[in-house]
Structure 1
Amino acid sequence: MSNALIEAIEKRRTQYALGKNITQEQEEITALVEQAVKLSPSAFNSQSSRVVILFNQQSEKFWHIVMNELRAIVPADKFAPTEAKINGFAAGIGTILFYEDQQTIAGLQQQYPSYAEQFPIWSEQGSGIAQFAVWTALANAGIGASLQHYNPLPDATAAKEWQIPVSWKLRAMMPFGSNEAPFPEKTFIDDTERFKVFY
């Protein structure tokens, strides 16, 4: 059975070899990311996901911040692989920072106290959905990306640099760019270990 969404999802892969050979304009990519986030579902339609899109030098600046934070905790004699990885992220044309607005979550907790402990969990789920939607949309447009989690290391410096509201909590970062290497074959565990079906 053919399904356009499944075919798009199949294109979503982790790409570490990023470049700047992109044909789309920055405005086109921005619109794509914004639409993917806006169309992503969230608990109680809370729309708590927030996104910062950094292009070119701004993206490189973010990864420089991450690099500096890592230098403080990774031994110098073991830093070369870390440096190479961060430079790989900076080699793309941009980075998307995914945040969750804690003020929105707190408001829902006050409005619906019986669900209060669930809203932070649902927020994380909503953020994951938004990240997946953006990643898939980029892949469907022929743009490579990966999902990274260096938070909370760069949080404070990034918040100051880009004037991020204090209620926004950084959850993930997605460097993106042209696909500069082929994808390896994707492997899957056996279906019997993941699925139970009853008719």
Structure 2
Amino acid sequence: MSKTFTEAVESRRSVYAISGEPVISDERIEELIVHAVTHTPSAFNSQSGRVIVLLGNSHKKLWKITEDTLRKIVPAERFHTTEERIASFGSGYGTVLFFEDMALVESLQNQFPAYKDNFPIWSLQSSGMLQYVIWTSLQEEGFGSSLQHYNPLIDDEVKRQWEVPDSWKLIAQMPFGKPLMEAGEKEIKPVEDRLKVFK
């Protein structure tokens, strides 16, 4: 697929109905992720973003962990909707887990105390950019994706299952797969209420 940058930005949407049918090779997926991790900007060039890509059984395991965790806290009479939602994510092709290395963030806080309070904020901003770059890259290749936040509920089990370093903080989960339907209409608020230009 070959779109301009503005077209890619416009077409990126949340897609929840996905299948596990392959769209591109696993090698191509890895290539996209490597490119995003390498070239997405970060404050002070900290490069604090960390990514784990789960495919195949590992992808399914993540959503089983999520389901089992939520089953313990969501009332039984309301769990059916939650179960369906989790199953829709698990039926996809893979999941990207986004982390921030808090040891690195703390190191920068110690090195530059004048900016101490800002580094956690900048870390999240960098993570958001990385999420967006990967999301748009996957969309461009034909995948549908959405961004989920079951952290911190699943953090401990995720760390155990995939031997994640203690300093890595889970920020978001991005299930992706072949879209089964088009994304719904997106309500766009008036731009004039959200943008000011001064000359």
For Structure 1 versus Structure 2, the TM-score category normalised by the shorter chain is over 0.9
TM-score normalised by L of structure 2: 0.96
SS of alignment partner, residue 184 of structure 2: coil
- Residue 50 of structure 1: how far off its partner (Å): 0.1
- Residue 167 of structure 1 is matched in structure 2 by 167
The answer on 1:24 being equivalent to 2:11 is no
Identify unmatched segments of 5+ residues in structure 2.
Answer: none
- Residue 106 of structure 2 is matched in structure 1 by 106
- Residue 80 of structure 2 is matched in structure 1 by 80
Coordinate RMSD, CA, aligned: 1.0
- Residue 22 of structure 1: how far off its partner (Å): 2.3
Question: Aligned equivalents of 1:173 and 1:104: distance in 2?
Answer: 21
**1:127-169: per-residue Cα shift (whole Å, max 9, x none)?**
0000001001011111110000000011000100000000000
Question: Aligned equivalents of 2:11 and 2:56: distance in 1?
Answer: 24
Identify unmatched segments of 5+ residues in structure 1.
Answer: none
SS of alignment partner, residue 178 of structure 1: strand
Question: Aligned equivalents of 1:23 and 1:40: distance in 2?
Answer: 24
Question: Aligned equivalents of 2:95 and 2:155: distance in 1?
Answer: 14
Identity %: 45
- Residue 53 of structure 1 is matched in structure 2 by 53
- Residue 14 of structure 2 is matched in structure 1 by 14
- Residue 30 of structure 1: how far off its partner (Å): 1.2
- Residue 196 of structure 1 is matched in structure 2 by 196
**1:179-199: per-residue Cα shift (whole Å, max 9, x none)?**
111122222001111011122
**How many residue pairs align between the two structures?**
197
Question: Aligned equivalents of 1:75 and 1:109: distance in 2?
Answer: 41
